Structure 1
Amino acid sequence: MKSYLTVEDILQRKHFEESEVVAGYEGLSRLVKWVHVVEVTNIRNLLNGNELILSTGVAWQGKKEHFISLVKQLIALQASGLCIEMGTYTTIIPEEVIEIANRAQFPIILIHKEVPFVDITQDIHGLLINHQYKILSDLESYSLELSKKLLTIDHYNEVLKMIRNYLQVQVMIVFHKKEEVQCFPDVMEQEQRTLLQGVKREGDSLSHKTPYSIARLPIKLLGETYAELIIASDERELTEFDHLILDRTATALAELLLRDLYVEEKRRVEETKWVMSWLSGKETEEGIYEHLAFHSSTVKPKGAFVCIVKLDSIPQNMSVQLTYFKLAFRSIFDQQGFSMFAIEKANNIIFILVNERSPQTWKKRMKEGLTRLKASDVVRKGMNNKKPLFGVGKFVNKLSDIHKSYQSAEETLRIKDRLSEQSDSYFYEDLHVFRFISLLSRTVDLNEVVDEYLAPVIEYDRKYNGKLMETLKTYLVCNGSKQETARQLFIVRQTLYHRLHKLEKLIGKDFMKHEKRLALEFMLLSYEFLTTSKPIEEKDHDAL
């Protein structure tokens, strides 16, 4: 339906049968909200806009400058057009007036047959009033149809299609948090940019000109602006009816989106609860396979493992980047033969990766995937300089043993987080002796054990600024080769002999015997673990 009246519509009425448009042809689509008779030249406080003006010309009779001033005032006040009764007071329209009206696309209509203005106003005002009643009726019908549609549709696109077909305008919805824009009907990328620039300028206090007539309304969910519904037209000016339809549609969209969010949140919570239960070891092998068969029927499990991605913090404005990160993670590791389940916990993203290829190649494929992920733009540029820390747990053949992989992935992160010099490996099985050191540090006073073996050497280096600890470590790594030790330390043989003699005095001449040498190597690694660790607060492990 047509929700507005234009100058062109008015010209179809019987009283305008002998009328002529002499200027402003391009403005015949201007809206008409009222008809007003004007017989004065100063009208700055008499109009509200969108009035069609009727005049005999008596006010400017013989005074061209008054006529020009009146036309300029009407244009500035956004009148719809000027209808002049020709004959009695006006016989000719000056060229200057026609030029001004053409530039402003302001219609000037000449009425060549004498018609009482009261007949014209009664006719058009009656038409406008009847039109308003029809608008209210149509608005109620639209609202009723929209309410019925909400009961049957599954996607908001149906609502956008409905308002598009009803108003014949371009419709856009902008999702703020997702930074996503959808247009209905679809438009080319360049046109979409032009539309968005018009929307931005329309809200600018500087009121930049835009080729579109635009109306916009926020869609609020739970007190927050979730999206914005926008309608635009480059063919006509939007009316109050358009705004009313926009308001009804935005309300309906809010109801639909809130319903969808509730369903999605409920599904996500249920999925998260199940994954957490799986990670805690509460799910049986049979139950896991049943769940996978129902939700991921194409997955053919051949073992699984857990990968934890830790960030220092996850600010609210990173929600979009995290979504892209998870999408990139899924895309990359899907190509490597893994199906994925993901949940967020504190600053961690926990991924369960179900292997679908040969178990013998899982580690190689995982390494390749992590290398690709770390080199991707989503990690290098999209994480706000938050470098993620990866911890990969051990591979388990039984899906019900995934809690063991989860615990080992946590242990991997715990160890890697404490070491100041990060290992190139992300895997629990590559940490070797540090796994035992970490375990020992939580059960005994590791400092006391280290002091038992290395306290004299540590004290000597502290007191004399010596290099005995470095010498001992290098000497053991070089399997007792004095030539290689001296070369790696960049010292002469005589200096090395002097240091080794000092070490024998401090820790005994037997420090190169097999059992004691193993103990010293273990204590050196423990000392490095303790002295290079980042200062962290020990936290109890929350049970899932």
Structure 2
Amino acid sequence: MNTDSITVNDVLQRTLFRNARVVGGKNGINRRLRWVHVLENLNIDKTMFRGGEMILTSGVGFQSEATLLVAYLQKLMEFNVVCLCIELGQYIQTIPDEMIEWANRYHFPLIVFTEKVRFVDISHDINSLLINRHYEKLQDLERVSREFHRMTLTSQGINKVLKLLYNFTNVQVLYLPIHGHPIFVPSLQANNQQELLDFCRERLNDLTALIPDQPTYQCKFKDKTLLFQPVGAMGQTWAYIVLISDHEPNQYEYKVVDSASISISQDLLRKQYIEERKLLAENVWVDDLVHNRIKNEDEFRSILGSSYLKHRKTPYHVCVIEIDHKDDLDHKTSAEAIETSQFHFSLLLRFTFEKNDFLPLITMKKNRIVVVALSLISPLPLKERLQRVFDSIQKINEVDLKTGALQYRMGVGQSYIDLKKAYLSYQEAINAVSLYSFYKKPIIYYDEIGVLQLLTNLRERKALESFINSYLGPLIEEDQSKGSKLLYTLKFYLDFNGSKQLAAQHLFIVRQSLYYRLEKIRELIGEDFMSSEKRLALQVALLGYQLLHPDIFSATPGGSESF
């Protein structure tokens, strides 16, 4: 169908225009009309117009001086008015030649009524026609959108969507995937195809920031107007639909290309889900890798095949992502829904790692996803790219997925080269992610946790508790029996390098109270607690105690800081 709006020529065929004549700008009668206004004032400005209006006037309040009428016509052109209709009679008897000349020069339809007309009838007739046509177009858009979705469920769904898009818009359609062969509907001659493709790909270099959910990008190619509509999901752009037309696109073309893009995106995403499930099923060996169940080089060769030699010396990190579902708390989320959201998250991880020059090997078990992220050649440092991955995931999870039920935390092991050491990076990532309650941040790097590298390995053993009790036992007992807050006092006194003034300010107590607490501390753990060796031991013991009891200092007046 023709999706063009109502034109000036369409209006001229209406009964109310039977006595109208086009005295200037006849070459512009195919200009599209958006609305009809009655305007009886020479004093106009841009705020009065939105573009695409037909202006009706009897000339009341006008002056017949030619220069003023020409200036008025020029302003209308500047404000993107479609045409001007003047009733000849009491106020304007003739149209100045200069006005007709300007209308002809810029193809601006200048229409006169030689008999008296009722502008209210014309406004009602044309505006009703516009409203009815708009309603019909919306119905057509709804129908074609349903057809787009139906076609994506059939074989060669993308080709069918593109053909329907062409039939609806009657303009050249180009489907330009990021990876793969372009599709022209209808087909073009080879030389014309190549010229257009070269131009589009050059423009795509300027569209690197164009992602799904952003407005369609528009530019000129020779005498054509090109619309680039991204196709993709989860922050990834997989292709562009390009409309190549010889006119300025109308609102319906914008809407229908957006609908086609959504349908194709859903089709591609569905296929990506299927591929992701297949990859996860094939990559069960990754679980063996991180648990050190692959012992020799022959096993690696048989699993990785020809890619083994390529990646055997590739640096990598193991990342452990633990996912929480808030809905689990009230049992409203089914096991199937949880699994679907985790597959969705796994797919998002794969896209984002690949976008930042990683080869992700992914395995998933219950609420934990493990990624062995092999670093490919990139101008950016490995750790910076990792941070970009996590920043992108966090942003998409918050904005695009809109899943308030999905929360995650990540631990990142240190970088290794030999895949046989993946179990080491995995254990480091496990230790890092276990510190979430301590650091209260979603991403924790093992190489940034300092002395906690030692303490996390002791946490499951009695040695850490024994160490803490040997240095802090008397203070813990005193606090538990009398609520004296000696642990708080010691922690911040050591944090501020023995500054009584800063410690008292941070604890919101007077100095005399601090002196009393410090005296009690000396009495319980010895006078030498500020000696270098014992001070270090006390700080480590406090850190270990906070590791075992993450919220122990959270209620301290003035807040607390991890150390």
TM range (shorter): 0.3 to 0.5
TM-score, normalised via structure 1 length: 0.48
Give the structure with higher Rg (CA).
1
